[in-house]
Amino acid sequence: MSEDPVETAVEAKEKDRRAALVIALLALLLALSEAGAKRAQHLSTESNIEAVDLFNFYQAKKIRATIAESGAQLLEAEKAAVADPNAREAFDKQIETFHAAVERYEHEPKHPEDSLEKIQERAHEATEARELANHRLERYEFGSGLTQIAIVLASASIITDIAALLWISIGLGAIGAALVGLGFFLPTALPFLG
């Protein structure tokens, strides 16, 4: 017995509709993944710039404090060779000025957020934010890649009428969705991904 051509056509059209729905859902997942990746990349770059700026600021202040401390030590050594009390007093004033400069560079009494310790803390926070954004980006990119492959396989299933391609496509799409979810909710999970 041969199958009814109308039933075969209806069945084929129904398969194509399912595949088209899978492709539409995969395209939505791909759009979300790409948007997440773009945002993560932007945050990574922004955090990296902030970290570099803060570390540079820290190093500049540390160098200035070290120069002032070296100046104070040099004057201490020179003062030891001077016997004149007026000259020794002048040395003491200059040494005190250098020590005050060191204290100001290290602690910033007027702006505590600009103390060396706080600058270093903020730089480390920016570095951690950059690393988190990079983890998100990797998950989104892996999810996006799998989703693109899934879309191609779903499209191929329509052309070739091979149902297994659609099922493989759905499986890859599910893995891609899981990776996108990890990028959003648990970006540091699965450390072997990056």
What pLDDT score was predicted for residue 148?
98
Go through 55-72 and write b for each residue having 16 or more CB atoms within 10 A of its CB, e for each that does not.
Answer: bebbeebeeebeebbebb
Residues of the chain with pLDDT > 90, as a percent, come to: 80
Place of tokens 């004033």: 93
Residue type, 11: E
> Over the chain, what is the mean pLDDT?
93
Per-residue pLDDT tens for 159-187?
Answer: 999 999 999 999 999 999 999 999 999 99
What pLDDT score was predicted for residue 2?
58
CA distance 88 to 98: 15
Task: Count other C-beta atoms under 10 Å from residue 155's C-beta.
Answer: 18
First CA to last CA distance, the chain: 57
Tell me the mean pLDDT in the region 25-37: 98
Crossing angle for the helix pair 5-80 and 163-185, to the nearest 10 degrees: 30
